[in-house]
Each structure stands twice: as structure tokens, then as C-alpha cells.
Amino acid sequence: MIKIHSKPSILATLIALFSYSIAIAQEGTVEVNQDKQIDALIKLKKEVNSSESNYKIQIYSGNRPGADKAQTEFRNSFGEWRSSKEFETPNYKIWVGNFKTRLEADRALVKIKRKFANAFYFKPKKD
């Protein structure tokens, strides 16, 4: 018969508990010294990003009465995104949203396609 001594396991448990309490007991404070111009730069970056053309979703391309109808239907169904009517000879187009990333546009497109099956996202050309 083999007899197992319990002293090593008690010692290991005590060491583990002691180490854990030391690791948890550490506290401190962090002070951030930041240049005041950083806030101004962040504000400027937000303004630039909001004016940038990112991804948009086109829900309609065709004649003006059809564009008006599609835009009204979109506004009644999806209040969270803005829509705009654009004219590119010879068609009127309804563009929606201003999505910063392709992933954001993809997620919106999944919802929009339920109502507007021919919708697609694109990145507008800059003027």
C-alpha cells in the first residue's frame, strides 16, 4: 500500500494563495498629462471625417417619379439613415447613408435589401 503525504499539497496551496493576494493588493493612480491642442486636433479630425465621402448605398436609379417614390418609401421604412436624390444624366439615383467602413455598409445593406432587392453599396468618387 502506498501512502501519500499531504504536506506538499498544503504548502503549494499556501504559496498560491499568498502569491494571489500580493497580485490583487496592488493599487495605483494614473495621471495623464495631455497637450491642450490634442482636443482641437480630435475635433478637427471628426469634422474632416464627417465631410468625407465614405460608403453609400444606392437603392434606386431611373426616372424622377420613381426616385421620388423610392425615397418616400425608404424614409417611411428606414428612419435611421438619411437619403438623398442625385442626378446623373439621364437618371435620378437615391443614395442612402454615409457609412465609414465597408462592414458598416454591409450590415445596413442586409436590412435594406429586404425592401429594396436591387440595392448595393459603393464608394462615391470625390469631386
Cell representation of residue 111: 436590412
Q: Give the pLDDT of residue 124.
A: 87
Asked whether 94 and 74 are in contact (CB, 8 A), the reply is: yes
Which residues does 47 contact at the CB level (< 8 Å), separation at least 6? none
Instruction: Say what the pLDDT of residue 95 is.
Output: 97
26 alpha-carbon distance from chain centroid: 35
**CATH number of the domain located at residue range(s) 50-122 in this protein:** 3.30.70.1070
**126: number of Cβ within 10 Å:** 6
- pLDDT tens digits, one per residue of 8-17: 677 677 677 6
pLDDT tens sequence across 52-75: 668 999 999 999 999 999 999 999
For residues 81 and 96, is the Cβ–Cβ distance under 8 A? yes
The predicted model scores a pTM of 0.59
Answer yes or no: is pLDDT of 2 > 60: no
Residue 62 and residue 81: Cα distance in Å, rounded? 21
